[in-house]
Amino acid sequence: MLAAGTHVYARRTLRRTAVLAATAALTVTGLLATAPAAQAAMPTPVSAATARTYLASLTVKAEGSSSGYSRDLFPHWSTQSGACNTREVVLKRDGSGVVQDSSCAAVSGSWYSEYDGATWTAAADLDIDHMVPLAEAWRSGASGWTTATRQQFANDLTRPQLIAVTDNVNQSKGDQDPAEWLPSRTSYRCTYVRAWVHVKYHWGLSVDSAEKSALQSVLNGC
């Protein structure tokens, strides 16, 4: 989740501007619907009521140190089957009309980013976001896990922990918790915090006081 370099960001921005301009006419004719035909299909998080119960049971403590943290301590994009790794499984799951080549790479399809409401047709424009970022997990208890457990966390397809979203949006999120960052698409915030609490509860991770307050605030409006 490291931020892209300035030049890479500029190239992506120019490329996307061209894509958006090219699709504008299609939008007018109705070929691109306001609502996506198929939205990201990560596992459904627990209900708001259950999330509130889970949140009340989480350990509240000051966030730990990032000392010693490395993404390499969370082996990610593990092979799931054949040539397909976790990233490719999520791209296939979250997209519409996704076609993969013999190496399991997505060569075509359409992806709707729940965080910002953008639709992309190139897999390179998508990052797979860890709902609870790896560095955040490290500071919330994962520093004491085994590497095997951290690998399971980083590749968790069972909980609502992985979702395909616009790459620059994912990079802007970085390792921030909901007290610091929430999706710009406000209609998705309830789902987002339900998923966040679901993941933290399942994996026994703590929350800090500001994080808990932010989660409670959103959940109270769900």
pLDDT digits (tens, 9 = 90+) for 93-119: 999 999 999 999 999 999 999 999 999
Looking at residue 44, the DSSP 8-state letter turns out to be P
Alpha carbon separation from 69 to 72, 80, 98, 142, 178 (Å, rounded):
9, 25, 35, 10, 20
**pLDDT in the model for residue 41:** 83
Mean pLDDT of 17-25: 38
Provide the percentage of residues in the chain whose pLDDT is more than 70. 82
**pLDDT in the model for residue 159:** 98
Would the pLDDT of 51 be above 90?
Answer: yes
Mean pLDDT of 16-33: 35
Please give the full DSSP string across 189-218, using - where no structure is assigned. Answer: HHHHHHHHHHHHHHHT--B-HHHHHHHHHH
Determine the Cα–Cα distance for residues 177 and 13; give it in Å rounded to an integer. Answer: 26
**Could you tell me which of 179, 197, 178 has the C-alpha nearest to residue 48?**
197
Q: Looking at the chain, how many residues does it have?
A: 222
Residue 69 — very low, low, confident or very high, per pLDDT cuts 50/70/90? very high
Helix/strand/coil for 15: helix
Whether the model pTM is above 0.85: no
Helices within the chain (DSSP H only): 6-28, 48-57, 86-94, 134-139, 147-154, 167-173, 189-203, 209-220
**pLDDT in the model for residue 14:** 41
Provide the percentage of residues in the chain whose pLDDT is more than 90. 82
Instruction: Map tokens 């922990």 to a residue.
Output: 161
**pLDDT in the model for residue 23:** 36
Mean pLDDT of 166-179: 98
pLDDT digits (tens, 9 = 90+) for 113-142: 999 999 999 999 999 999 999 999 999 999
Residue 217, C-beta contacts closer than 8 angstroms, at least 6 positions apart? none
Structure tokens at 4: 């892209």
What phi and psi, each to the nearest 5 degrees, are found at residue 164? -85, 125
**pLDDT in the model for residue 11:** 41
Residue 35 — very low, low, confident or very high, per pLDDT cuts 50/70/90? very low
Determine the Cα–Cα distance for residues 140 and 207; give it in Å rounded to an integer. Answer: 7
Residue 196 — very low, low, confident or very high, per pLDDT cuts 50/70/90? very high
Average pLDDT along the chain: 87
Residue 10 — very low, low, confident or very high, per pLDDT cuts 50/70/90? very low
| Residue 207 near residue 63 (C-beta atoms within 8 A) | no
Determine the Cα–Cα distance for residues 198 and 55; give it in Å rounded to an integer. Answer: 9
**pLDDT in the model for residue 3:** 40
Mean pLDDT of 59-86: 96
Amino acid in position 13: T
**pLDDT in the model for residue 170:** 98
